[in-house]
Structure 1
Amino acid sequence: MSSTPPSPSQRLGDPNPTTPAFEDGHQWITAYLEIHALSHTTWRYAYFLWFGIGMVTLAVAVSNLLGLSGSTLGAYWNKWAFRRRTWRKKHSLANAKKSGQAHKQPFLFPSNGQLLAFSSLIIASLAATFLGPDYIAPSHQLFRRAAVPDVTAFIPQYTIEKAWWSSGNRAGLVAFALFPLCVLFALKRPPFAIFAIPFFTNRHADHLIWLHRWLGRLIWAFAALHVTFWSVQLFKDKRADTDHIAYMYAWLFQRFIFAWTAFILFTLLILLSLGPIRDKYYDKFYALHVILVPATIIMSALHHPPLWWWCWLALLLWAGERTWRGVNWLYLNGFLGSSLSVPPIVKADQKRLAPGQGWEMNSLFSDLETASSKPQFYRHHRLSSSTHSLLPLNATTFSIPVGYAHAEILSGRTIRLRVITPGHLTWAPGQHFLLCIPALSKFDSHPFTCASVCDTQKPGNDGRTIVFLIRAKNGWTKRLWTTVVGLLARGQRHLPGQIPAGATLPATGVLLRAWIDGPFGSPVRTDWGLYSTAVVVCGGSGASFAVSVLEYLCLCMAGRDGWSLGGTVGRGRNFSIRRVRFIWILRDFAHMQWCASVLYRCQSLLPPEALQLDLFVTNFNPPVSQPSLEASGQTQFDATDTSFPSTRAIEVKGVALDKNDLLEAQMPDDDYVDLSYYMGDYTENGELGHEEHRLDLTNFDGDNDERVRGESTLNRALKKEGTLRRAITRKKKESRRVKRSSGVPEVPPLPREAGIPEDPAPPSSEPLGRKRAGDRSSMSTASIASQTSSMQAMMREAVEEPQLELDEQEMRDISIMAEFARPGRPKIDLILQDEASTAGGRIVVACCGPTTLNAVVRKGAAALMDPSRVRRGDKSGSIGLVVEEFGF
């Protein structure tokens, strides 16, 4: 390159410096691009950007350490930041129904907190790109670097305000500087996932992944500006001796080729990450993502070595976290040696409903419920209730071989997977794992929330059993469902060659090799002990998150140390939660099978005033309306319902019930149930501002509502069982009220043996709160004679179709829980208001469900935030929100 002194135009500050003449085109373009590079002092814009990011991060970390979320300032912030809005095109539900399309959730906008965070990043990045001069003279002292010895004299030594090439360079500088932040938002495991470090911001990838996606798109936008501005400059500038545009010579420069390679790879990365493509082809998206991310970063680094440390830092974080997770994965799945050596053993056989065996509830539960109502059973139940699998307490099953998954078919086209890893691990309630089934694919892993609680103090493997509830959709989950159903249809309990030597095969379900990575997720950061009341809300398969949280809370309230259960409470700290309200919105009654055993165990741990269970079933038809009651909006019992006898009265366990009793048992007895939206398929204006559908609160996008064999029969049986149980409970309550009003003394209960709790009979399903003053009686767990239809016809269907496999104890749990399952949709805002009005301190709301439920709960929680009450010292005005979603 020539050492000709600068031209007069350069000394005067020409924004387009002169390039000396060279005979060789490669030398000319090399000199041209070297001259048009940013000065070292201009890099200060990237430093300023990171200084701002660091200050905000530090403020969040300090707020986290000081617990400012419960302060007045935190209440003001949460009241605004919690809210998320949804949008659905008018009449889209009706149009989808006509065209036969599956139900689609409304579009969910980011929360106010997310919008503020991303808007701040956009503003800061734009400021770093366009505010101030583009090119700062090297003579400026701030952040000045030592001069490079071979710097040509043609490099501008003066400040340039604006030019196509200088603006393009600044856009590229900002894009480079944001690479590490984008990678940090996606990392899952500390210490490489810096934001997830507990004593720092304690924000995990599930709450930052939305920012990761949109920051990636923002970086691409700045890269596109860089390409566009530089393209304009290269088309404008010409080589003096040939009069050819500089763009022609740029292809002779190797780093220019690296630039276009990086931009093309980056563009592919962004396109393949778009929601429709990502959701439909997740496996391919993930594989290409793992390939394209490092390729884009490496090509970007080779494009401009003076700034490549930003790229190498991003790549180091990405590769380091992947390596760290890989080592943990090898240990966890036994490739580095198993920490367990437990031979598979067989426990006592359990009585199951075999194909071809008809059954009715009235003949099934009598002996089981009578036996389970003894105080001795309750004492055993209370002490051993930390059996963390979604099976009945005393269910006798085989021991799952370590490293394998036991897959069983449940209602709602759902697979229950129970896994025990060879390596020890602990997890917090509500966290998720990445699950890989090698029989489906050795390279695809998918996130699923764990529906069980770990117990480090429980002997054996039961306390380490990871339970997943996986509902069949499309893609990987559909392949899993097809594999399990296909094996069962052929009478196989495992894939050929995939079973450990000497292992005992399960009586139900199949064994599949399984690999686990995790745990991950922000629920680990929740300090449940800071609150006095917990409201747990879930919809559909979101129960996986909710039941693990519920079981953890109930065990802690019953006296267990939360530290040994994977939580943050323990080591001498008091657990302050005194009341839990559990709200589960189900599509069908049969879906109670997913979690009924856990709910029954939790109910047995706590008195009625400490735990309230509310289950709402949205897929039902209200009873037939009678003309005399239509004006008032009430409905009458359907006389054509074959589930009940046509006589005017029936007698169940010595309690006479007429049709009025059955009617009252089907109708809401409080203000918490909404039946208005059952008048049509959707409403024009829902509470979130868009038309609503009965599936909005229960179905995630892609959920398959096809029923398996036996599910319809189970639905009818459970609906009837719940009606009868509620009717008897109300009848007994009314009888006691009459006795008290007439002055007849009640027979006092027999004295209990010291140390033996009272009979754990399920309490009435009448909610506390608005009717909390009323007497809440307990119904005997003796059998209720339900007149159900025989399942013989169902059993004779084609064996290729999947079939529910239920044992007696699991059916007992589902039957008891049927009393708490009421038709209708909950008025969540009223429920939250009721709990807030009676809470003695801070309230925490935990939620997992479809888009609409997420928005409804956020809206209700935000409405309850009252900074003025917090300012006066009333902590009930502060609401904590724990949401299982990919966004905060």
Structure 2
Amino acid sequence: MAVSPANLVLSTRAHIQNLSEAKSLEPHWGYVPRSLPCTNDAGSCEYLDIVYHSHDLGILYSGIFWASLGVILLVWAVGRQVLHPQPSGLRLPIIIPPGEGTTSRPGFFQRLQQTLSSLARRHLLPDASRPIFGRTTRTQVLTLLVLTGYLTVWTFVGIVYKKWITPVKASPGVYNTRTSLGPWSDRVGTLAYALTPLSIMLSSRESILSLVTGLPYQSFNFLHRWLGYIIFCQASMHTISWCVVEMRLYQPQPTVAIEWIGQLYMIWGVIAMFILFLLVVLSTPWGIRLTGYEFFRKAHYVLAMLYIGACWGHWAQLSPFLLTSLIVWFIDRGVRLARTALLHYNYLPSGHMGFLPATANIAFFPDPQNGDTVRLDFHHPHDAWNIGQHFYLCFPESSIWQSHPFTPLSLPTNGTGNQRHSYIFRAKKGETKRIAEISARRSLKTSAVETSPLSDAKLSVILNGPYGENIGRDITPEANILCIAGGTGVTYVLPVLLSLAAQSHGRDRKISLVWVVRQKGDMEWIAPELSILRRFVKTSGMTIQIFVTRAATLTTTSGPGIDSSSSSNSEGKEMHTKEAATSSSSSADSALSVHGLSDAERSPDHVHNRPNLDEVVSKFVQGVVRGRTDVVASGPGEMISQLRSIVASQNQPGKVWKGDERPDVRLLCDDRLEW
């Protein structure tokens, strides 16, 4: 078939083909058409055969990669329905009469599942190499290694490793050196394009991966970051390899190199590589600390779109991968806006329907030394969220361009159209500091006439969410619950305890809270909730331990929502602070105790009295009568890392296989994987 004149226009990306002599063009998806018949020398024609064959295999392998990912997700989704068929939403409590419980030996498949889960937690739950991966579980790193190994196979398989020495027609006596470096470089470039949609999917808040796997979107942040590093390495190898080919192996030099780098598609390639370099540098921990998180986040969005556009200009033949990436990104943004609009579409004061932010009451807790704390309370009409989920809050009176994730400490209520939201957060810098300053000013204006901690100071709030997973579904009625929180991390564990307070329990079930705060006054943050838990302590046998780590004067067990009757000492005797290195407001057997510092340790810079988490978890697990233990935790990264190792060591797969569920210990925390 003759080639039309339009197809005879010399393409700058036609490789070494002579399109003017072509009788037909053979299409190759993702590459320039092949000119047939080949009129070059035998070596060059053989080289072109290898180039196109390797590219076609690269496209095939990219398809196999995505097909493999699809099969994994399909199996995962089916497995979730088979192994965890619970309906979404809050679980209805199963009431276990006192003294009764599950005593029958679990079946073979149930024991096998529990044993494998316990074995995985024991070896994969602790942090991996922290200097390299940060506070990341071994599970995440193992997933990364499997992905890297899989991509490595597709990078090298099917490449014909050979060298050809071919003459240069325009320069007699000059020869080109053609090697498999060119086809291999194209392969890694193709894979980099193919991975771009996956990278966008891993960063999405409205994540289809979360819908399929049940894992919260934040669980994919680690893979998103490291997949970006992999794409950067692939792009770098692609760039360096072609620089070697065009600037060294092809002759004559520097003529070939100058003509090559001046082509439009190469200019776009250089721009894409530079933008990708900026993306990687700004996403490193030190880059984020240097520029600030908000700058990183907004710059990341802009640079990512510019990078995709530059890649399109560099090699439009692979644009379907880039178009898919853009579609995923815009769907994520569109769904976010739609969810926010629907969440706030309500009756306006005028009686008409429209967009109406929530109005929160402010409670301001000044603490110049450690950072001021703000509590927000408001009601908003919408469906109940799930325990463990969080919302993104935007404060339009400060900035409409920022939103931050906060976990509500209030308990969602099913069957009602009006939900109560309560949040606490400590002001650090940036947006939270500005909100604290606004709260302080408005609280001062009303403090002269208001003595309640929740004054008439108001603040507009725009909600987006909920996001995250339903840990209320994962906590079964027979599980023993140990809640450990540090500072404002108590917001994650409080809904669990409040939901348990509304249930009936068997006497063998253990429930405990360990909360670490800096000052005794920090307990004022959750005074209403502590009052509820105080009553729960009396009826359920639950224990509460509050550790005050900085200077505080404790005279009695009384505190916000806590009085002397809240102790398990039914006589209601007043207990005073013990003058010891770690003093306690109650005896070791007390159900509710506040541990503070002695007068000798009352130095603002002196930190003592942190609980021994290893001892806390071990003692709790050893005291379990039946059932597994769920450790629900939220707090500083160091605490979570320590708990991962502790919980992993508590798992004993051998005993679980024999039917003893007690050494089957799970960790449920903000950034956890589903175990």
Considering the TM-score relative to the shorter chain, is it more than 0.5?
yes
Counterpart code for 2:139: G
Question: Is the contact between residue 234 and residue 245 of structure 1 (CA under 8 Å) also seen in structure 2?
Answer: no
Which residue does 1:115 correspond to in 2? 141
Once the 2 structures are TM-superposed, how far is the Cα of residue 509 of structure 1 from its aligned partner?
A: 5.6
23, 48, 53: which is aligned to 2:69?
53
Once the 2 structures are TM-superposed, how far is the Cα of residue 861 of structure 1 from its aligned partner?
A: 0.9
Counterpart code for 1:289: H
What does 1:209-220 align with in structure 2 at a 5 Å threshold?
Answer: 209-220=221-232
Once the 2 structures are TM-superposed, how far is the Cα of residue 127 of structure 1 from its aligned partner?
A: 2.0
Counterpart CA distance in 2 for 1:326 and 1:724 is 42
Once the 2 structures are TM-superposed, how far is the Cα of residue 468 of structure 1 from its aligned partner?
A: 1.5
After superposition, the C-alpha distances for 1:158-202 in whole angstroms (9 at most, x for unaligned) are: xx996232222111111111112212212222xxx22211xx311
Matching of residue 13 in structure 1 with residue 46 in structure 2 = yes
Once the 2 structures are TM-superposed, how far is the Cα of residue 851 of structure 1 from its aligned partner?
A: 1.6
- Cα distance, 1:577–1:458 mapped onto 2, change above 3 Å: farther
Which residue does 1:598 correspond to in 2? 529
Question: Is the contact between residue 407 and residue 511 of structure 1 (CA under 8 Å) also seen in structure 2?
Answer: yes
SS of structure 2 residue aligned to 1:416: strand
Counterpart CA distance in 2 for 1:51 and 1:324 is 26
How many residues align? The count is 563
Counterpart code for 2:648: A
Once the 2 structures are TM-superposed, how far is the Cα of residue 112 of structure 1 from its aligned partner?
A: 0.9
For the aligned residues, what is the CA RMSD?
A: 3.8
Matching of residue 477 in structure 1 with residue 432 in structure 2 = yes
Question: Is the contact between residue 440 and residue 480 of structure 1 (CA under 8 Å) also seen in structure 2?
Answer: yes
Which residue does 1:545 correspond to in 2? 492
Counterpart CA distance in 2 for 1:542 and 1:436 is 20
Once the 2 structures are TM-superposed, how far is the Cα of residue 520 of structure 1 from its aligned partner?
A: 1.0
Counterpart CA distance in 1 for 2:662 and 2:351 is 48
Counterpart code for 1:444: Q
After superposition, the C-alpha distances for 1:8-36 in whole angstroms (9 at most, x for unaligned) are: 4337734799xxxxxxxxxxxxxxxxx88
464, 483, 490: which is aligned to 1:517?
464
After superposition, the C-alpha distances for 1:301-350 in whole angstroms (9 at most, x for unaligned) are: 3322222212211221111121111111112133xx4499999xxxxxxx
Counterpart CA distance in 2 for 1:724 and 1:447 is 29
Matching of residue 79 in structure 1 with residue 122 in structure 2 = yes
Question: Is the contact between residue 411 and residue 593 of structure 1 (CA under 8 Å) also seen in structure 2?
Answer: no
Which residue does 1:659 correspond to in 2? none
Which residue does 1:40 correspond to in 2? 56
Which residue does 2:397 correspond to in 1? 439
After superposition, the C-alpha distances for 1:635-692 in whole angstroms (9 at most, x for unaligned) are: xxxxxxxxxxxxxxxxxxxxxxxxxxxxxxxxxxxxxxxxxxxxxxxxxxxxxxxxxx
825, 833, 843: which is aligned to 2:629?
843
Once the 2 structures are TM-superposed, how far is the Cα of residue 64 of structure 1 from its aligned partner?
A: 3.6
Which residue does 2:89 correspond to in 1? none
What does 1:774-813 align with in structure 2 at a 5 Å threshold?
Answer: 777-780=569-572
Which residue does 1:868 correspond to in 2? 654
Matching of residue 3 in structure 1 with residue 21 in structure 2 = yes
Matching of residue 276 in structure 1 with residue 68 in structure 2 = no
Counterpart CA distance in 1 for 2:394 and 2:284 is 24
After superposition, the C-alpha distances for 1:236-268 in whole angstroms (9 at most, x for unaligned) are: 35576xx64433223443332322222222222
Which residue does 2:616 correspond to in 1? 831
- Cα distance, 1:195–1:244 mapped onto 2, change above 3 Å: same
Counterpart code for 1:594: W
Which residue does 1:263 correspond to in 2? 273
SS of structure 2 residue aligned to 1:840: coil
- Cα distance, 1:37–1:338 mapped onto 2, change above 3 Å: farther
Question: Is the contact between residue 721 and residue 818 of structure 1 (CA under 8 Å) also seen in structure 2?
Answer: no
Counterpart code for 1:119: L
- Cα distance, 1:778–1:162 mapped onto 2, change above 3 Å: farther
Once the 2 structures are TM-superposed, how far is the Cα of residue 817 of structure 1 from its aligned partner?
A: 10
655, 661, 665: which is aligned to 1:879?
665
Question: Is the contact between residue 567 and residue 591 of structure 2 (CA under 8 Å) also seen in structure 1?
Answer: no
The TM-score, its normalising length taken from structure 1, stands at: 0.58
- Cα distance, 1:75–1:64 mapped onto 2, change above 3 Å: farther
What does 1:287-326 align with in structure 2 at a 5 Å threshold?
Answer: 287-326=298-337
Counterpart code for 2:116: L
Question: Is the contact between residue 71 and residue 870 of structure 1 (CA under 8 Å) also seen in structure 2?
Answer: yes
Counterpart CA distance in 1 for 2:230 and 2:436 is 39
Q: Which runs of 5+ in 2 are unaligned?
A: 1-18, 23-37, 85-109, 163-176, 578-589, 598-608
SS of structure 1 residue aligned to 2:411: coil
Which residue does 1:132 correspond to in 2? 158
Question: Is the contact between residue 238 and residue 245 of structure 1 (CA under 8 Å) also seen in structure 2?
Answer: no
What does 1:741-752 align with in structure 2 at a 5 Å threshold?
Answer: none
Once the 2 structures are TM-superposed, how far is the Cα of residue 822 of structure 1 from its aligned partner?
A: 4.8
Name the structure, 1 or 2, with higher relative contact order (CA <8 Å, separation 6+). Answer: 1
Task: Pick the structure with more strand per residue.
Answer: 2
Once the 2 structures are TM-superposed, how far is the Cα of residue 584 of structure 1 from its aligned partner?
A: 0.7
SS of structure 2 residue aligned to 1:433: strand
The TM-score, its normalising length taken from structure 2, stands at: 0.75
SS of structure 2 residue aligned to 1:454: coil
- Cα distance, 1:42–1:852 mapped onto 2, change above 3 Å: closer
- Cα distance, 1:162–1:834 mapped onto 2, change above 3 Å: farther
**Identity between Structure 1 and Structure 2 (%):** 22
Counterpart code for 2:59: W
What does 1:73-222 align with in structure 2 at a 5 Å threshold?
Answer: 73-84=116-127, 108-133=134-159, 163-189=180-206, 193-197=207-211, 200-222=212-234
- Cα distance, 1:194–1:185 mapped onto 2, change above 3 Å: same
Counterpart code for 2:244: V
What does 1:658-673 align with in structure 2 at a 5 Å threshold?
Answer: none
Counterpart CA distance in 2 for 1:603 and 1:467 is 19
SS of structure 2 residue aligned to 1:13: helix
Counterpart CA distance in 1 for 2:637 and 2:420 is 29
Which residue does 2:247 correspond to in 1? 235
Which residue does 2:98 correspond to in 1? none
What does 1:566-645 align with in structure 2 at a 5 Å threshold?
Answer: 578-605=509-536, 607=538, 609-620=540-551
Question: Is the contact between residue 394 and residue 462 of structure 2 (CA under 8 Å) also seen in structure 1?
Answer: yes
SS of structure 1 residue aligned to 2:491: helix
Matching of residue 415 in structure 1 with residue 374 in structure 2 = yes
Counterpart code for 1:124: Y
- Cα distance, 1:520–1:579 mapped onto 2, change above 3 Å: same
Counterpart CA distance in 1 for 2:249 and 2:373 is 64
Counterpart code for 2:40: S
SS of structure 1 residue aligned to 2:463: strand
Counterpart CA distance in 1 for 2:534 and 2:259 is 77
- Cα distance, 1:534–1:525 mapped onto 2, change above 3 Å: closer
Q: Which runs of 5+ in 1 are unaligned?
A: 18-34, 89-105, 137-159, 344-400, 494-504, 559-574, 621-714, 730-760, 765-776, 788-815
Question: Is the contact between residue 393 and residue 403 of structure 2 (CA under 8 Å) also seen in structure 1?
Answer: yes
Which deviates more from structure 2 when the two are superposed, residues 254-263 or residues 208-217?
A: 254-263
Which residue does 1:750 correspond to in 2? none
SS of structure 2 residue aligned to 1:841: coil
SS of structure 2 residue aligned to 1:826: coil
Once the 2 structures are TM-superposed, how far is the Cα of residue 291 of structure 1 from its aligned partner?
A: 1.8
Which residue does 1:225 correspond to in 2? 237
- Cα distance, 1:492–1:584 mapped onto 2, change above 3 Å: closer
442, 445, 452: which is aligned to 2:410?
452
Counterpart code for 1:611: M
Counterpart code for 1:48: I
Question: Is the contact between residue 603 and residue 611 of structure 1 (CA under 8 Å) also seen in structure 2?
Answer: no
Counterpart CA distance in 1 for 2:570 and 2:351 is 42
Question: Is the contact between residue 596 and residue 817 of structure 1 (CA under 8 Å) also seen in structure 2?
Answer: no
Question: Is the contact between residue 232 and residue 276 of structure 2 (CA under 8 Å) also seen in structure 1?
Answer: yes
SS of structure 1 residue aligned to 2:382: coil
Counterpart code for 1:263: M
Counterpart code for 1:778: S
Once the 2 structures are TM-superposed, how far is the Cα of residue 455 of structure 1 from its aligned partner?
A: 1.0
Once the 2 structures are TM-superposed, how far is the Cα of residue 408 of structure 1 from its aligned partner?
A: 1.7
